[in-house]
């Protein structure tokens, strides 16, 4: 709840001020923008935003609470259906005050207070897109970092494979040489045996 303002009230007494704020809020929700004095607009802003927060909740208790302040059921229904849907992605700042100069008769500073119903700014959408792009890039970098490690493992396997093949061929050659030498040794042994006889 905002801190109460110091100084004189907007009306003659507290009940008058409560009714005045309720009527200003009802007019704001009905017409989506109203022209009033700067002082009344500044006092209406937290009041109206609190009612919009109740409308975003959307439960029965919130609806009854708002109906206790704004007696027009049609305006409350519009607040809970149309306005609450329009600002459901917005975290706050449901109203905007724009100063428009002084009133002609008594030179009072005037302002337009309006509901901010447009979607959340494109800047926030760009930020969301940038964060998702950064996440995608990080995932790609992780995949790229994992790919060279996998390639290094494959290269190590391919380098180890020729060495293993060379070792296998050397073993086969030694076996072949041993098998070739074995018949020659047998022949030499046979000859020496024949000579001995």
pLDDT digits (tens, 9 = 90+) for 132-164: 888 888 888 887 777 666 666 665 665 655 565
Residues 166 and 113 in one domain: no
The dihedrals phi and psi of 102, each to the nearest 5 degrees, come to -100, 155
Residues 125 and 106 in one domain: no
**For residues 135 and 137, what is the distance between their CA atoms, to the nearest angstrom?**
5
pLDDT band (50, 70, 90) for residue 100: very high
pLDDT at 52: 96
Q: Does residue 152 belong to any structural domain of this protein?
A: yes
Residues 46 and 137 in one domain: no
Residues 52 and 87 in one domain: yes
Q: Domain residues for 111?
A: 14-119
Residues 100 and 141 in one domain: no
pLDDT beyond 80 at 26: yes
Residues 30 and 97 in one domain: yes
Residues 147 and 60 in one domain: no
pLDDT at 128: 74
Per the structure, the count of domains in the chain is 2
Tokens of 65: 């609470």
Q: Does residue 64 belong to any structural domain of this protein?
A: yes
Q: Does residue 3 belong to any structural domain of this protein?
A: no
pLDDT band (50, 70, 90) for residue 27: very high
Tokens of 78: 């519009």
Residues 39 and 84 in one domain: yes
Picking from 90, 119, 148, the residue at the C-terminal end of a domain is 119
pLDDT beyond 60 at 34: yes
Return the axis-axis angle of helices 38-57 and 14-31, rounded to nearest 10°. Answer: 70
Please report, for residues 24, 45, 72, 108, the alpha-carbon distance to residue 87 in angstroms, rounded to integers and kept in the order given: 20, 15, 21, 32
Q: Does residue 5 belong to any structural domain of this protein?
A: no
């Amino acid at each position: 709840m905002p801190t109460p303002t110091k100084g004189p009230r907007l009306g003659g007494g507290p009940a008058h001020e409560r009714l005045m704020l309720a009527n200003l809020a009802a007019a704001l929700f009905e017409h989506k923008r109203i022209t009033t004095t700067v002082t009344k607009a500044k006092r209406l802003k937290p009041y109206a935003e609190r009612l919009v927060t109740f409308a975003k909740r959307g439960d029965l208790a919130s609806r009854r609470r708002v109906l206790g302040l704004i007696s027009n059921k049609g305006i409350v229904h519009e607040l809970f259906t149309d306005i609450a849907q329009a600002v459901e992605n917005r975290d706050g700042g449901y109203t905007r005050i724009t100063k428009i100069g002084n009133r002609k008769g008594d030179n009072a500073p005037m302002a337009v207070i309006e509901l901010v119903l447009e979607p959340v700014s494109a800047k926030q959408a760009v930020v969301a897109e940038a964060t998702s792009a950064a996440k995608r890039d990080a995932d790609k970098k992780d995949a790229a970092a994992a790919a060279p490690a996998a390639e290094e493992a494959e290269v190590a396997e391919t380098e180890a494979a020729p060495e293993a093949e060379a070792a296998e061929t050397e073993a086969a050659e030694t076996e072949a040489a041993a098998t070739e030498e074995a018949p020659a040794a047998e022949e030499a042994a046979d000859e020496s045996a024949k000579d001995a006889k």
